Amino acid sequence: MNEILQIFSTLHAQVFDSARLPVAVCALLVVSIAGVLIGPLGGNANPVLWRAVDFMFGPVGGKLGNTQRTRGDLMTRGLIVCLMGLIISFLAGSFFSSLSIHYPTYKIVDIVALSLCLASGAGWYCLFRLYSAVKGDKKIKGAFYALAVTSRNNLTAADEYTITRVGIGVAARLFDKGVVAPVLWYLIGGLPVVFVYTALAALSWRFGKEGFSKGFGDVALALEKLMGFVPNVFAGIVLALAGLLTPTAGMTRSFIGLLRLKSGNAPYFEGGAPVTAMAWALKVSLGGSTQDMDGSAIKRGWAGPAGATAQLEAKHLHRAIYIIIMAHLLFLAALMVAF
């Protein structure tokens, strides 16, 4: 029995390093505070590493992803771009990991490197400005632009209901892809692994078109789902629990939505468990068709209880901001308790 416990303990130590927990807490606090104070750089509230991947591969991917080609050809091209992105990201993560060994003081290198993979405060900043704009108190310059850039949705012809739905959906997805998943993968595998996951999430965001890719983004989407499915479910559970702390939101209703297999659920590539939990907790409908920045149609289904309204207003956005901040605090508390 002691030998079995020793094997389990050794395996646990290799897979999960508890010394990374304070780094995760500090990095999450850094991006939360800095994001609120500074706002999204260039109007983009996604993690910094997403923007770096977009800078390196966005232009070339836009040319290689010509939809006039066959699906097989596009998948091959997408595979090449994806592999290049993963190799570069792994090397970058390994570089920061090596740098941390040489400069271990207060784990500053780890905190900075992990912060590049996270996004929270900048997303809140976008939501606060969007709320002010939708509420109509005053004109907020760039409020819709930041949401369009972050979500890669063309909102020029969208009404306020659609814009509000997109904003709430972005908040739920950033909590998943920009907070929960990167932190969990950092705890499991350190900087090289979290850089690989973040690169996959960035490539899926840039080329995946929320599952409506015509081949070029399929490889990135499949690999990201492989790494992101469990964190996605966990993020949905945390958001559902946050409903208990949010006035007029429903935790029980949110868990009922998560347990439904078909109707009222958002597919993984359209946000999955976090979007589902958010919609059911607030008793609204999230989703609906929009257009990608490249002009592609994004025909999302609807997530939420039957009969829930899709005409979302400032009051719905206000509740969404509250629940997303509560979810962040719950996740932060869970990390501190684990430490």
| Owner of token pair 């400032």 | 314
How does pLDDT run across 279-309, given as a tens digit for each residue?
999 999 999 989 888 888 889 999 999 889 9
**Mean local confidence (pLDDT), 126-153:** 85
Contact 274, 249 (CB under 8 A): no
Quote the tokens at residue 183.
């932190």
AA identity, residue 173: R
What angle (nearest 5°) sits at the alpha carbon of residue 141, between those of residues 138 and 146? 125
pLDDT range class, residue 10, cuts 50, 70, 90: low
Q: Indicate the domain borders of the chain.
A: 19-36+43-338
**Proportion of the chain above pLDDT 70, given as a percent:** 94
Cα 268 to Cα 17: distance, rounded to the nearest angstrom: 29
Q: What are phi and psi of 287, to 5 degrees?
A: 120, -145
| Size of the chain in residues | 339
Reference 38, options 126, 108, 97; nearest CA is: 126
